[in-house]
Structure formats: structure tokens, C-alpha cells
Amino acid sequence: MLRDRQQFSDPDGTAEALGVSPASWPLFGMVWEAGTLLATHMVTHPVAGLRVLEVGCGLGIASLVLSARGADITATDYNPAAGDFLVFNSELNQSAPIPFVREGWADETSALGCFDLIIGSDLLYEPDHAALLADYVVRHASAICEVILVDPGRGHTNRFSRLLEPHGFVREAAGKTTPGDPLRTHRFRRSVVA
């Protein structure tokens, strides 16, 4: 992980060419409470036989947990450095290599295919992210699919939920960790294609 929120390294300009500014690096390179909670959920969440996608994986903590459990996990992030961090953290934890795809939610071409479980943490931090993420999820969701998002209460999950509804997703009650804690776990399920 990054030592602090001031670190930035893009020697070949790859991140800059994608529009990743130095100011946004801590978004992927730090341990955030939402990511820790998502990883905690993945310790016991049923994943046998499921194809799992972690969106905006950052350091890939949830992916590492799932890999240790033998899950079929693929990790994605917009920042290309996330893939390097995931390789390093996989080796550090003696994990099998985790497939990583550098991909943005608005990218029109993707060879990822469809997944049975899509997970992510603290993804909806800008107003336009609800529509971008909803479209991305719909493109990559199997006919029977569960989506789990951990959100620190940035106020965009209701719009995200409304955008998933026409595609057959039903929102379950959001789980709260402790009183006064803004972290919520949001679950969406689809059992048939709408």
C-alpha cells in the first residue's frame, strides 16, 4: 500500500495518459474501512462454483481473501498500478495469481464476460458514478447474480439501485455495522433476466 496520501509514481506516464491524477492515487493505494469490511464479508460469503468480479479492487484485499478460499476471482481497477500492487500483495500472502484487468466502467469493449457475484467498496464517490457503475454491472452480470457494495454513505446508492431495477435487480435492506457508523453493505439480487 502507499505509505501516505502524498505518494505517487507514474514513471512511464501510463496513469497520466488515462487521466489518473496524482491526487487520486490514494483512492486505490490505501486501506479504507469500506474495503476492510468488504473483505470481512468475503471470509464467509458463499462463493463455491461462482464466478466473482471485484470492481475497483484497489489493493485487492477482498480478492486476496477470496483467492485464499479458492474462489474464481477476477479483479479490476481503473488505475493501472492496482495490478502491480495486486501481484505484490498476492506474492506477499502466498496467494495464487489473481487475474487483473485494467478497465474503466465507461470502456466500451470488454472481454471479461459475465459474473455470478460482483463486489466492490466505496465506489460511488461522485454523482456520475452511479450510472457508470450500474451500466458496468449490467454488462457483466449473469442472469442469476448478486451484487455487494460497501458504501460509506456518500449518498449515491439510491440512484444506483434505481438504475439496476429495470434489469431485474432487487435491493435488499442495507446492513449497518454499528450505530453512528456510516458504512452500509448494500446487496442486490437478480434471479432472471428482465
Q: Are 57 and 75 in contact (CB under 8 A)?
A: yes
The stretch 64-77 carries a mean pLDDT of 96
151 vs 28, which has greater pLDDT? 151
pLDDT of residue 178: 62
Q: How confident is the model at residue 175 (pLDDT cuts 50, 70, 90)?
A: low
When the pLDDT of each residue in the chain is averaged and rounded to a whole number, the result is: 85
pLDDT of residue 154: 81
pLDDT of residue 67: 96
Q: Are strands 100-102 and 72-77 parallel, antiparallel or unpaired?
A: parallel
Domains of the chain, CATH where assigned: 26-190 (3.40.50.150)
Which residue, 153, 150, 148, is CA-closest to 137? Answer: 148
Q: Where are the alpha helices (DSSP H) in the chain?
A: 14-17, 26-29, 33-42, 61-68, 81-92, 129-140, 157-164
What is the grid cell recorded at 151? 458504501
Q: Are 55 and 138 in contact (CB under 8 A)?
A: no
d(CA 52, CA 173) in angstroms, rounded, equals: 22
What is the grid cell recorded at 147? 451484487
At 79-125, the pLDDT tens digits run 888 888 899 888 988 889 999 999 988 887 778 999 999 999 999 98
Question: 3-state DSSP call for residue 37?
Answer: helix
pLDDT of residue 3: 47
d(CA 29, CA 107) in angstroms, rounded, equals: 22
pLDDT of residue 164: 97
pLDDT of residue 106: 86
Q: What percent of the chain has pLDDT over 90?
A: 55
21 vs 165, which has greater pLDDT? 165
Q: Are 21 and 85 in contact (CB under 8 A)?
A: no
At 119-157, the pLDDT tens digits run 999 999 888 999 999 999 999 999 999 999 999 888 899
